[in-house]
Structure 1
Amino acid sequence: MPMYFLQAKSVFTVLMILQSASVSAHPPGLSSLDISIQTTDVVVKITFALQDIEAFTPMDSDLDAEVTDAEREAAKPAIARLLASQLRINIDGKDYQPAQPGQMSFDDQNNALVTLVYPEVPQQQLLVQSAFLAQLPSGHQQYLTVRTANGVTLAEKMLGKTDDQLNLTLAGSNQPSAGAPTWLGAFADFFKLGIEHILTGYDHLLFLFALLAVTHSFGPALKIITFFTIAHSITLACAGLNIIELPSSFVEPVIAVTIIYVAMENVIRGDHPRGRQWLTFGFGLIHGFGFAGVLREMGISSGETGILLPLLSFNLGIETGQIAVAALVLPIIWWINNNLLIADKLLKGCSLSVCLMGTYWLLERTILS
């Protein structure tokens, strides 16, 4: 079999994997658990995406495929009971239950927020176990923070199905003893989360693939990657610091539009479209808001290092994953683009496939949502 057929097959295989790996570009799988040790009690705030818990507490009571405001309100007690029952709080060797039913609310990011109050304060040890993670998909992660009443971080940890608990030993006055988790552990957790997010963010990857599909060498590819990095880093920081906020109902459809536009530009203009780096910068600003949605879903906005540590490490993780993907596909793209017999047809074929996927996501995020 001629070598160029093998190369072409490789590109199509990568593209099809990206398209078929998930029905949704951003599958659910993030939540947060924020624990504050007050003077006389322990306050726990739990945040889950509604799509992660609706299978356990159905809200569509009349089964008409639409959840009304009244149905959401009616589901609040059941959601609060569910999350409270799945959380274990052990203080100084004794399990405690909330002093009263959890306070339940919804935010504008389609998340469920439950606040629980436990009538005791740990002096020596605090054990937290999020048993609900065992019932969720294996990729689900929950960011746990433990703080004092004045906001000093005692512990931070990313929980998962196989590691769903934190055992914090205190040395008195609610201070952690030697060996407690540090900022370095949180940095590593968010760095890993950034890598996982870009590798499972199929819309972002297809956008990057469509941008790079017209390059022939290192220079133009470096420009595109650099401009994309700068752009989404700007808006990721602005959104993370709450300087600029855009609703996900706007951002996600527009991301799909950027994919469609770049793919169609590849088809219509073909090779070497001018100003591709400026197009990348403009569209990259929109993708940055999409990345920021991950930190918003987890309620990451406070702590000893504030939003800055998660923001920095998460962004570095995104860049690392992005560079790894580019390093994998660029040699194949360049080889094909320098073979005139197949370059044009393959570019248009792949771009049309990307365009179709972008169109599907656009419909899914607007008409079908």
Structure 2
Amino acid sequence: MKAVFLGLLLAISSLAASAHEMRPSIASLSVDSQGVLKLELVTNMEAWLAGIEPSLPDTDDSPNSSIYDGFRSLDATALESVLQDREPDIVRLVKVVAGVAPVKMTLSSVRVLPVDDSELPRDTELTFLGGLPSGAESIVYRVDDTIPNTAVRLFLEKSEPRVQFVKTGRESDELSLDQAVERSVSAIALDYIELGFIHIIPRGLDHILFIIGLSLISRRLLDLVIQVTAFTVAHSVTLALGLYGVLEFPPSIVEPLIAASIVYVAVENIWHNKVNRSRAVLVFAFGLLHGMGFAGVLADLGLPERDFVVGLLSFNAGVELGQLTVILVAYISVGVWVLRYPWYQSRVAVPVSLLIGVVGCYWFIERVTG
């Protein structure tokens, strides 16, 4: 029992470090009428400068975290100067091939993107230019080993953007420069399912805690199904409305409220040993909040106009798979062993809820004061 509790303590306490979360990068490619290839890479360059392993979910997990914090403390002008001094190394990050010929890219500009909170990750937009060989029919983009997983987007003048999700150290599929060639629906669906799943595991630490909180006092499968269904329906609604521009709330409002929802669920778990009737209504309300958070992420990555619904539904499916995985892992690792015992509430549900509540409070204060 002590081993189970200690494991939960270590796992949950480690989630509080999400202020240094490693997020996916975005690479936007476009070709003008003169055959000039433009690449805009948006990524966390402080992490790159510090030598942070891109597979880590959080910079605090790296032995180089103090170096990262040093770069993070620089203002935008100072950081841009540091990056411009590393121009030769930065150019080597970009690998584009047209047919069998590498495209020589040059660094055109460096712009550190503003953030409201100095404790949150900060992205830099790097713009590169290169000339495509005459008659080039397709290009392949390779994500460098030092850059996080990347959403690669190709913009052509007479067709909608094409989006692929490419893992660190991997190459994209061939990106056809033919306006008439489109990616298959199944390929698009798989990309967005993966994006949705990764947004929960391992990136969605606050969503993971919320789901664990829901499951702690749900001793009956029906109770858990009702709550998860309410949460799913709610965040699906606000995710869609947010992407269509019907609902727009700034992250400075949404993110603290998501943290507050975690605290509320934790407190309710402490005071109640079973699910009451109002719980599903509250979970639905909190699901609306979490959906706004999902919408912000998906809006940054982009959706194909022609297959907007496919991308949206697939991303949502990936989110659901991530949530179900969290529930399944929690049940197999803890619930199946201790859920049936009379001391479960006092020795497991309450202590774990306290930990979840503390982390939620930390996030709330951090997001409000930051």
TM-score band by shorter chain is 0.7 to 0.9
| Cα shift at 1:21 | 6.3
Query: Residues 12-33 of structure 1, C-alpha deviation per residue, up to 9 Å, x if partnerless?
Result: 6456434436732783131122
Q: Letter of the aligned partner of 1:150 in structure 2?
A: K
Match of 2:97 among 80, 90, 97: 90
User: 3-state SS of the aligned residue for 2:191?
Assistant: helix
Residue of structure 2 in register with 1:196 after alignment: 198
The equivalent position to 1:32 in structure 2, one of 26, 33, 57, is 26
Distance 1:264 1:104, change over 3 A: same
Matched, 1:238 2:245: no
Do the aligned partners of 2:223 and 2:275 also contact (CA within 8 Å) in 1?
Answer: no
2:317 pairs with 1:316: yes
Q: Secondary structure at the match of 2:159?
A: coil
CA deviation map 1:308-329 (0-9, x unaligned): 3332211101112212332444
Task: Note the residue ranges of structure 2 that are not aligned, 5 or more in a row.
Answer: 52-66, 117-121
- In the alignment, the residues of structure 2 paired with residue 264 and residue 208 of structure 1 have an alpha-carbon distance, to the nearest angstrom, of 14
- Give the distance between the partners of 1:288 and 1:79, measured in 2 at CA: 39
The match for 2:54 is none
Query: CA offsets, 1:41-65, max 9 Å, x none?
Result: 3332322245544647xxx9xx697
Structure 1 residues not aligned, in runs of 5+:
none
1:20 paired with 2:14, answer: yes
**Mapped partners of 1:64, 1:141: distance in 2:** 21
TM-score, normalisation: structure 2: 0.77
Q: Which residue of 2 aligns with 1:281?
A: 284
Query: Which deviates more, 140-149 or 217-226?
Result: 140-149
Question: Residue 256 of structure 1 aligns with which residue?
Answer: 259
Q: 1:30–1:294: 8 Å Cα contact kept in structure 2?
A: no
Residue of structure 2 equivalent to 1:353: 355
How many residues align? The count is: 349
Classify 1:53/1:188 alpha carbon distance in 2 versus 1 (closer, same or farther; 3 Å): same
* 1:197 positional shift: 2.1
One-letter amino acid matched to 2:311: P
| Deviation of the 1:301 alpha carbon | 4.2
SS of corresponding position for 2:145: helix
| Structure 1 pair 364–96 and aligned structure 2 pair: CA distance change class (3 A) | same
User: In structure 2, do the counterparts of structure 1 residues 341 and 297 end up closer, same or farther at CA, with 3 Å as the change threshold?
Assistant: same
How far 1:74 moved relative to its partner? 5.0
Partner of 2:141: 129
Q: Does residue 143 of structure 1 match 2:151?
A: yes
Alpha-carbon separation, structure 2, partners of 1:314 and 1:257: 25
Which structure is larger by alpha-carbon Rg, 1 or 2? 1
Q: Give TM-score, length-normalised by structure 1.
A: 0.78
Question: Counterparts of 1:325 and 1:148 in 2: how far apart (Å)?
Answer: 39
The offset of 1:275, in angstroms, is: 0.5
Identity percentage of aligned residues: 23
